[in-house]
Amino acid sequence: MLKGSLGLIALSSLLLSGTAFAQEKIKVGVTATLEGTYTVLGEDGIRGFQTALNVLGKKVGDKELEFVIASTDATPDSAVRAVRKLIEQDKVQILLSPLSGDEGIAVKNFAKTHPELTFINAASGAQETTYVDPAPNFFRYNMDGAQWQVGLGKYAYETKGYRKIATVGEDYSFIYTQVFGLVLEFCGAGGQVTNRQWVPLGTKDFASVIAALPDDVDAIYLGLGGADAVNFLNQYQQAGGKAHLMGGSIMIDQTILSSKGNAKSALIGTLAASGQADTWEDPGWQKFVKDYQDAFPPNKRFPSPSLLATNYYGSTMALILALRQVNGDLSNNQAKYKEALAKIELDAPNGKIKLDSNRQAIGTNFVTEVVDDGKGALFSKVVKVIPNVNQTLGYDPAVFAKIGLPSRTVPECKKY
Amino acid sequence: MAAVTSGASDAMTRFVERHPAWALIVIIAVAVALWLIFAVWPPGLEEAIGRKRVFLNALFNGITLGGLYFLVASGFTLIFGLMRNVNLAHGSLYLFGGYVGYAISASTGSWILSFIVAFVLTALVGVLLQVLVFRRMEGQDLRQTMVTIGLSIVFADLMLWACGGDFYQIQTPSWLIGPIELPLITAVKSSGEPVYLRYPLVRLVIFLASVIIGIAMWLALNRTRIGMIIRAGVDDRDILAATGVRIQIVFVLVFALGAGLAGIAGVVGGTFQSLSPGEDIRFLLASLVVVIVGGMGSIPGAALGALIIGLAEQLGSVYIPTYAIVVTFLIMVLVLALRPQGLLARR
């Protein structure tokens, strides 16, 4: 009895406090991969998100933003579970989610079941998410995996003189999209991709994969991330590997370049492409790096923000700036807000970003090379900046549609 | 030693006499394996099943992985053999040892020290488990099994709370980094110059260490007084206790040794793979399969089982990647169907 009445009191006080503040708050749900293979990526994503809050503040007119963070593990079902929990239990109105490729496809599909809410992609980069049957309430302010590889294939072929390469990648949508972008351009320039190996996300023992790498190629492209990339590099070093390397966007990124141990030194000189470059001179980028560095003590962050931090920063920026444009008006199923989101042009740290008709980002891409700063820290150095990269990678949309969707074997190695 | 060899050769003669067909198959299989390892492959064979380098690497990876499995499973089987206690928290001891090893190696930089501390601390946890939990429910197999399941869940959550969901990798000491050349020819260049197999040194060292530990355990069990007591306990606990041996102390010792071995295995696993939540279950499952294949309670059985499972995993992942996971369990099913007590069990 006593227990019951105590519970009632607690419940009613909770309800009271809820009604007292509900009108001044806008609830936003955030997901990040804070478990599993991509833990470090999720953690840095959240740092980028917090940096954005530090810079922009949490006020929208007279309303205050309130954030609820949920953890996922890069699997689609974990992302849907987290998003559902945020909507049903925490009653969020806007979502900043998710981080990883397969999660993105699942959350986009889930978004259709909640047309009244707004979903802003945090960092995921599978092509399918916005290219196939896009959800009208799902907005993506980062480029997809293929856009992030623009420039890499041509640079490798023309400047580095690579003719034959092989790829090793994690077996899921984002890496398919990255290899798609690479193969399209490299083979288009005349190169050959002789072998594509796929490993499950979360592989521990790469020894046999490393042994099966071909010898007769000019470079090996690595499409790995997080713990997989670190495991691979460690075992690659133990096996004495010496091939030229090329890297995907989350392979050549501070999540790997500042990992513990010296296995990462195999990456010095590695050619890569991504939506950012650590040493870019642009003042907007430099300011973002400084904001990021000032927001956290040096042992709680990377020397420079990772691609995930940048993406979360950009998405949070879009979320807040568009909300300010409509003065926090979320009435009529958030119609005004969605309109503002579709139209907004961001001056993001990694270049200007605007959305196409599928609500997919058109942005700037960077070809980079890994350099040692002389003190043992590794950074990605810009070798080429390519503005205005769209989702069809400059191809005519009809031709692009014929290539097919990224998968283990698509695209074929030929000129389209 | 002479007695051992003659005993082994006796057993072999008996086996050949009783199962001539099986003996022939075994001899042919060994001959084929030796030829695959030492001969230079003709081009036709390379075309059919891939390069020799890939095969040799998968083979060596399988054997070294088997070494790791043996370390985990030997403690498991030892505890079961003596106490008839299926300790389903064994995987948690593995992961705990790994985390301890990581903490020590990260703070002191010493790889060797991390083994010692991991062994001591996990052995201590083992002692506590035996004294505080298992002694209170002696002889109640089902209750003990249920309690260990519960404990493994509690430990997993405690470790997740303390260490987070991140991946940890124990730094390989610099003198172990890199490959060495083994005197096995993988291919012959067009100039006639042979290409030798290059293999990660650290994996070989870890494998050697597990062989040494295995032999030491075998010697301790078969050649020392305490080993004699343990073997007697495996055969008949009650009579052993009746002869005046303080069996509880033996139990505590064996539990400490078994747990400590799991801790060492955790450091090994953290060095050439990595540590994260979920690894406890993976290694518990692996050691269950290993001891089921090899025979519950038998150390040589654990060694054979670990070798078979390690090879099946690695060769499977190279030659039939899609079905690699099934192979392990297929072997287990076959063994359970044909020889349910395990390959090397005595009874």
A230 Cβ under 8 Å from any chain B Cβ: yes
Q: What is the 3-state secondary structure (H, E, C) of B286-317?
A: HHHHHHHHHCCCCHHHHHHHHHHHHHHHHHHH
CA nearest B274 in A: which residue? A204
Residue A259 has a pLDDT of 82
Residue A63 has a pLDDT of 92
> What residue ranges of chain A have pLDDT lower than 50?
1-22
Q: Looking at residue B21, what DSSP letter applies?
A: H
Question: Is A237 within 8 Å of B65 when comparing Cβ atoms?
Answer: no
How is residue B261 written in tokens? Answer: 């071995």
> What residue ranges of chain B have pLDDT lower than 70?
1-9, 11, 322, 346-347
Reported for A42-45, long-range contacts at CB under 8 A and 24+ positions apart, including other chains, are A42/A71, A42/A72, A42/A99, A42/A308, A44/A254, A44/A255, A44/A301, A44/A302, A44/A305, A44/A306, A44/A308, A44/A309, A45/A99, A45/A122, A45/A123, A45/A308, A45/A309, A45/A311, A45/A312
Which DSSP string do the residues of B112-138 spell out, in sequence order? Answer: HHHHHHHHHHHHHHHHHIIIIIGGGGT
A390 Cβ under 8 Å from any chain B Cβ: no
Q: Looking at residue B168, what DSSP letter applies?
A: B
CA dihedral sign, ordered B252, B257, B262, B264 = positive
All residues of chain A having their beta carbon less than 8 Å from the beta carbon of residue B46 are none
The answer to whether the beta carbons of residues B289 and B192 sit under 8 Å apart is no
All residues of chain B having their beta carbon less than 8 Å from the beta carbon of residue A237 are 177-178
Distance of alpha carbon A141 from alpha carbon A315, whole angstroms = 6
Residue B8 has a pLDDT of 60
Residue B150 has a pLDDT of 94
Question: Is B200 within 8 Å of A234 when comparing Cβ atoms?
Answer: no
Residue A237 has a pLDDT of 84
Q: Which residue has the tokens 């110059």?
A: B193
Nearest-neighbour CA in chain A from B84: distance (Å)? 33
All residues of chain B having their beta carbon less than 8 Å from the beta carbon of residue A71 are 165
Q: Looking at residue B40, what DSSP letter applies?
A: P
Residue B267 has a pLDDT of 94
Residue A203 has a pLDDT of 79
Residue B177, helix vs strand vs coil: coil
Distance of alpha carbon A321 from alpha carbon A355, whole angstroms = 15
Question: A307: part of which helix (H) or strand (E)?
Answer: helix A307-325
Closest CA to B294 of B55, B31, B66, B1: B66
Residue A231 has a pLDDT of 86
Question: In chain A, how long is the greatest CA-to-CA distance?
Answer: 80
Residue B73 has a pLDDT of 93
Distance of alpha carbon B289 from alpha carbon B334, whole angstroms = 12
Question: Is B169 within 8 Å of A240 when comparing Cβ atoms?
Answer: no
Closest CA to A353 of A388, A306, A397: A388
Which DSSP string do the residues of A147-196 spell out, in sequence order? Answer: GGGTTHHHHHHHTS---EEEEEEESSHHHHHHHHHHHHHHHHHT-EEEEE
CA nearest A231 in B: which residue? B273
Residue B309 has a pLDDT of 93
All residues of chain B having their beta carbon less than 8 Å from the beta carbon of residue A265 are none
Question: Is A204 within 8 Å of B172 when comparing Cβ atoms?
Answer: no
Distance of alpha carbon A5 from alpha carbon A10, whole angstroms = 9
Q: pLDDT, tens digit, for every residue of A194-204?
A: 989 888 887 77
CB pairs < 8 Å spanning A and B: 82
How does A225-261 read in b/e, with b if 16+ C-beta sit within 10 Å? bbbbbbbbbbbbbbbbbebbbbbbbbbbbbbbbbbee
Closest CA to A212 of B194, B39, B53: B53
Question: Is B274 within 8 Å of A39 when comparing Cβ atoms?
Answer: no
Interface of B to A at Cβ within 8 Å reads 50, 53-54, 57-58, 61, 65, 164-167, 169, 171-172, 177-179, 198-203, 272-274, 276-277, 314, 317-318
> B-contacting residues of A 153-212, CB under 8 Å?
204-205, 207-208, 210-212
The answer to whether the beta carbons of residues A232 and A270 sit under 8 Å apart is no
Instruction: Give A173's Cβ-side CA count (13 Å radius).
Output: 22
The answer to whether the beta carbons of residues B312 and B328 sit under 8 Å apart is yes
